[in-house]
Amino acid sequence: MPQTKEAWSSRLGVILAVSGSAVGLGNFLRFPGLAAQYGGGAFMIAYFTSLLVIGIPIGWAEWTMGRSGGVRGYHSAPGIFHVVMQHPAGKYLGMFGFIIPVMVYMYYVYVEAWCLGYAYLAVTGQLAAGANFGGIFAAYTGIAQDGSAVHFGLASVGPWLVLCYAINFYFIYRGVSRGIEQVCKWGMPLLIVIALIILGRVLTLGTPDPLKPDQNVLNGLGFMWNPKDLWADLQNAELWLAASGQIFFTLTVGFGAICCYASYLKKKDDVVLSALTASAANEFCEVGLGGLITVPAAYVFLGAAGLVGMGTFGLGFNVLPSVFAQMPYGNFFAVSFFLLLFLAAFTSSLSMLQPGVAFMEEGLGLDRRSALALLGVVTAFGSLFCWWFSKDLKALDTIDFWIGTMMIYLQGFILIIVFAWSKGMGIERGWREAHDGAAMRIPVVFKFIMQWVSPVYLGVVLLMFVLSSVFGWNFSFTAPHFAPTGRITDLIGDAHSNVARLAVAFIIIGVGFTTLLVHLAGKRWTAHPPERHS
Ligand code: PFF
């Protein structure tokens, strides 16, 4: 069996790598969009509650399980769950930790390519004042018609997508410390410097148009952060669902990526403080940088009306370019912003590939080259699918919903249950293992949180999410009403979308095929367990 002797070269390296995975498009686009949509202050209360109750505790659980599996020679979620649980079901419970990163990669890398491509458009002056930003956005993303984004000129996404594939696979090929760690060691500080420069510019914009005195930076910050009707907003269950979903997405917990990264730690390497540091770095980038740049800048130039109804992508690739075009030295800031987005996305997409490669190596016995080749073919197929079926971004959106939102809740739920309740681990052992070599102790209240509060909170969130986002529940217990949402009508009935159907069929085939692979991997692991590391 090919042995992976990969390891992080330093403690800072692994923290930067996990932070690199966490800090991504979610921080600079998804978060500000959601916070503004749900009324700023109220959203933040739900957001920080979720951070404390599920984000940080499940993060500790995932780091601990990852290191535990790694020491015993396993580096992918199916393998880690298999050895940690010591039960035949373990590998199947871990398989979503392979499917999620691989499938999210397929569309995430596509958006990563937009970022690079937009930086190029800005460099060549195509995003200057007077440009038709809505038209560029539509042509670039192919949002109006299937197939319309598939071009290979430098002003379209094609070459950038190829380039993104090449660099992602190249650095994964170089390995954990020579590839991922190196990229994050340079990329993360650079990302923060760029973000600080842009932030400095945004916060000093003042009132750029004296004829519109209301559109100033303070009001922009107020628009983003001031609670509106706090009490009423807090009773909106959807806000709580959005906030917990964002916590998962942004911290990368429950995806199988962190347990893969943590599996390259040594037995006595700290996990408690490292996990906390990586989460803190992510929150700094999300709340402190992402939250202060995107929405206030747009507000100052366009007012609240310019922001309404803009989805995450509209905000980033349609509204913001027009905002930069109105700033002095706008081109410089546009290039910087899209490079920032690209760097954030790149360090995240690496963490989606590594779990895939790790499983193919240890589960199927492939060498690194073959594993990468296979993963390249599978993910390229998915990316082509999203690229071609671009109308309304239907393919991307469907996979993002079922995998990037729903399945994450499910895997996060499974993970905390396995950590706190399984025979092989359980809270007592998990708590002890987490503190092995730890640089700080976890406050003891978290033992209770991990065992009871996180699973219950997450279970409720998962259930409510399915009931509302899929079955269209009106959140009423007294007069419940259900009206199937677009997620269902996309699939069945007269108004169905063939693209959504194909996307879901693709997901089902992916899950089926993975089940088979995991079954084969299980046989292999029983017959020849990998060597332990120390
Ligand atoms: N945490 C990333 C973000 O905020 O953009 C997204 C992400 C990273 C998703 C890694 C999945 C993953 F495996």
What string of DSSP letters covers 96-134? Answer: HHHHHHHHHHHHHHHHHHHHHHHHHHHHTTTTSTT--HH
DSSP state of 24: S
CA of 469 to the centre of ligand 1 (A): 21
Q: Is the CB of 247 under 6 A from ligand 1?
A: no
Q: How confident is the model at residue 310 (pLDDT cuts 50, 70, 90)?
A: confident
Flag whether pLDDT at 489 surpasses 90: yes
Flag whether pLDDT at 183 surpasses 60: yes
DSSP string, 63-81: HHHHHHHHHTT--SHHHHH
CA of 23 to the centre of ligand 1 (A): 7
CA of 21 to the centre of ligand 1 (A): 6
21, 168, 313, 346: residue to mutate for ligand 1 pocket, most atoms within 8 A of CB:
21
Residues in the chain: 534
Nearest atom in ligand 1 to the alpha carbon of residue 344 is 5
104, 294, 396: residue to mutate for ligand 1 pocket, most atoms within 8 A of CB:
104
Q: Residue 529: how many CB atoms within 10 A of its CB?
A: 14
**Percent residues over pLDDT 70 in the chain:** 99
pLDDT at 5: 78
Q: How confident is the model at residue 35 (pLDDT cuts 50, 70, 90)?
A: confident
Q: Is 486 exposed, middle or buried (0-12, 13-18, 19+ CB in 10 A)?
A: middle
Q: Is the CB of 351 under 6 A from ligand 1?
A: yes
Flag whether pLDDT at 1 surpasses 80: no
Per-residue model confidence as pLDDT tens digits over 137-157: 999 999 999 999 999 999 999
Per-residue model confidence as pLDDT tens digits over 347-377: 999 999 999 999 999 999 999 999 999 999 9
CA of 219 to the centre of ligand 1 (A): 31
CA of 58 to the centre of ligand 1 (A): 15
Q: Is the CB of 255 under 6 A from ligand 1?
A: yes
Please state the rounded mean pLDDT for residues 7-14.
Answer: 96
Q: Is 76 exposed, middle or buried (0-12, 13-18, 19+ CB in 10 A)?
A: buried
Nearest atom in ligand 1 to the alpha carbon of residue 27 is 4
Nearest atom in ligand 1 to the alpha carbon of residue 348 is 8
Q: How confident is the model at residue 36 (pLDDT cuts 50, 70, 90)?
A: confident
**What pTM was estimated for this model as a whole?**
0.96
CA of 20 to the centre of ligand 1 (A): 9
CA of 281 to the centre of ligand 1 (A): 14
Flag whether pLDDT at 3 surpasses 80: no
Tokens encoding 465: 């999410």
Per-residue model confidence as pLDDT tens digits over 117-137: 999 999 999 999 999 999 999
CA of 98 to the centre of ligand 1 (A): 14
Short-list 444, 381, 342, CA closest to 24:
342
pLDDT at 331: 95
Please state the rounded mean pLDDT for residues 418-443.
Answer: 97
Nearest atom in ligand 1 to the alpha carbon of residue 101 is 13
Tokens encoding 230: 């706090």
Q: Is the CB of 97 under 6 A from ligand 1?
A: no
Q: How confident is the model at residue 37 (pLDDT cuts 50, 70, 90)?
A: confident
**Percent residues over pLDDT 90 in the chain:** 90
Nearest atom in ligand 1 to the alpha carbon of residue 104 is 11
Nearest atom in ligand 1 to the alpha carbon of residue 22 is 1
Q: Is the CB of 21 under 6 A from ligand 1?
A: yes
- Span of 159-163, 206-210, 280-284, 449-453 with lowest mean pLDDT: 206-210
Flag whether pLDDT at 2 surpasses 70: no
Q: Is the CB of 101 under 6 A from ligand 1?
A: yes
Flag whether pLDDT at 418 surpasses 90: yes
Q: Residue 364: how many CB atoms within 10 A of its CB?
A: 14
Flag whether pLDDT at 319 surpasses 70: yes
Helix (H, G, I), strand (E, B) or coil at 158: helix
Query: CA-based angle 137:141:145, to the nearest 5?
Result: 105
- Span of 53-57, 192-196, 298-302 with lowest mean pLDDT: 298-302
Nearest atom in ligand 1 to the alpha carbon of residue 24 is 5
Per-residue model confidence as pLDDT tens digits over 504-531: 999 999 999 999 999 999 999 999 999 8
Beta-carbon contacts of residue 101 (< 8 Å; ≥ 6 apart): 255, 256, 257, 260, 351, 352, 353, 354, 355, 356
Please state the rounded mean pLDDT for residues 187-214.
Answer: 96
Which position has the higher pLDDT, 237 or 369?
Answer: 369
Q: Which helix (H) or strand (E) is 332 found in, with range?
A: helix 330-364
CA of 279 to the centre of ligand 1 (A): 13
Q: What are the backbone dihedrals phi and psi of residue 465, each rounded to the nearest 5 degrees, phi first?
A: -65, -45
Q: Is the CB of 404 under 6 A from ligand 1?
A: no
Flag whether pLDDT at 290 surpasses 70: yes
CA of 483 to the centre of ligand 1 (A): 31
pLDDT at 134: 94
Q: How confident is the model at residue 534 (pLDDT cuts 50, 70, 90)?
A: low
Q: Is the CB of 27 under 6 A from ligand 1?
A: yes
